Structure 1
Amino acid sequence: MTERLTGKTALVTGGGNGVGKAVALALAAQGARVVVNDLGTSEQAEGVSRGAADITVEEIHAAGGEAVASYDSVATAEGVQNAVAIAESAFGPVDIVVACAGAIFPGDLSATDETWHRFIDLFLSQKFFLARATVPGMAERGWGRFITVTSEGARGTLGNPIFAAAMGGVISLTKAIANDYRAHGVTANSFNPAAATRLYHATIADWKVKHDAGEITDEMWAAIEAGPGPASYVAPMVTWLTTDAAAKTTGQVFTIGGGSVTRWSSFEQVRSIYKGDHRSTPEWSLDELDQTVPTGLFEN
Structure 2
Amino acid sequence: MKMNHRLTGKVALVTGAGNGVGKEIALSLARHGAKVVVNDLGTSEQANGTAKGAADHVVEEIQRAGGQATASYDSVATSAGVENAVEIAMEQYGPVDIVIACAGALFPGDLTATDEQWQRFVDLFLAQKFYLARATVPGMAERGWGRFITVTSEGARGTLGNPIFAGAMGGVISLTKALANDYANTGVTANSFAPGAATRLYRATIGDWEKKHAAGEISDEMWQAIKIGPGPASYVAPMVTWLATDAAAETTGEVFSVGGGRVSKWSSYDEIKTIYRGDHQNVPEWTLEELDQLVPTQLS
TM-score normalised by structure 1 residue count: 0.97
CA distance in 1, matches of 2:28, 2:284: 60
2: CA distance between counterparts of 1:212 and 1:181? 48
Corresponding residue to 1:147 among 128, 146, 149:
149
> Deviation at 1:2?
4.3
Work out which of the residue numbers 13, 16, 19 in structure 2 matches 1:17.
Answer: 19
CA contact (8 A) 2:152 2:170 kept: yes
Q: Which runs of 5+ in 1 are unaligned?
A: none
Paired residue type of 2:141: A
CA RMSD of aligned residues (A): 1.1
Aligned equivalent of 2:123: 121
Q: Which residue of 2 aligns with 1:257?
A: 259
Name the SS of the counterpart of 1:279 in structure 2.
Answer: coil
Farther-moved stretch of structure 1 (217-226 vs 76-85): 217-226
Which amino acid counterpart does residue 79 of structure 2 have in structure 1? A
Cα deviation, residue 218, structure 1: 3.9
Contact 2:173–2:255 (Cα < 8 Å) also in 1: yes
The answer (yes or no) to whether the contact 2:4–2:33 under 8 Å persists in 1 is: no
CA-CA distance at 1:282 after TM superposition: 1.4
Distance between the aligned counterparts of 1:226 and 1:270, measured in 2? 36
The alignment's TM-score, normalised by the length of structure 2, stands at: 0.97
Q: Tell me by how many angstroms 1:279 deviates.
A: 1.7
Q: Deviations over 1:81-104 (max 9, x none)?
A: 000000000000000000110000
> Gaps spanning 5+ residues in structure 2: where?
none
User: Aligned residue for 1:32?
Assistant: 34
Which residue in 1 is equivalent to 2:100?
98
Report if aligned partners of 2:10, 2:98 keep a CA contact under 8 Å in 1: yes
C-alpha separation in 1, matches of 2:218 and 2:275 = 32
Aligned ranges 1:77-96 → 2 under 5 Å: 77-96=79-98
Superposed counterparts of 1:226-245, under 5 Å: 226-245=228-247
Aligned-residue offset at 1:70: 0.2
How far does residue 211 in structure 1 lie from its aligned partner after superposition?
2.8
Cα deviation, residue 30, structure 1 = 0.5
1:284-295 residue pairs with structure 2 within 5 A?
284-295=286-297
Q: Distance in 2 between matches of 1:276 and 1:222?
A: 51
1:247 aligns with 249
SS of residue paired to 2:209: helix
Q: Which AA in structure 1 matches 2:212? A: K
Q: Give the whole-Å Cα distance in 2 for the aligned partners of 1:159 and 1:80.
A: 30
Q: Deviations over 1:165-213 (max 9, x none)?
A: 1000000000000111121000000000100000000001111222333
| Stretch deviating more after TM superposition (164-173 or 207-216) | 207-216
The CA deviation at 1:214 is 3.4
Alignment-derived partner of residue 112 in structure 2: 110
Q: After superposition, give the CA deviation of every residue in 1:260-289 in whole Å (9 maximum; x if it has no partner).
A: 100000011110112243222211111111
Using the TM superposition, give the Cα deviation of residue 225 of structure 1 relative to its aligned residue in structure 2, in angstroms. 2.0
For residues 16-58 of structure 1, the C-alpha deviation after alignment (integer angstroms, 9 at most, x for no partner) is 0000000000000001000000000000000100000000000
Contact 1:157-1:216 within 8 A present in 2 as well:
no
2:288, 2:223 → 1: CA distance? 40
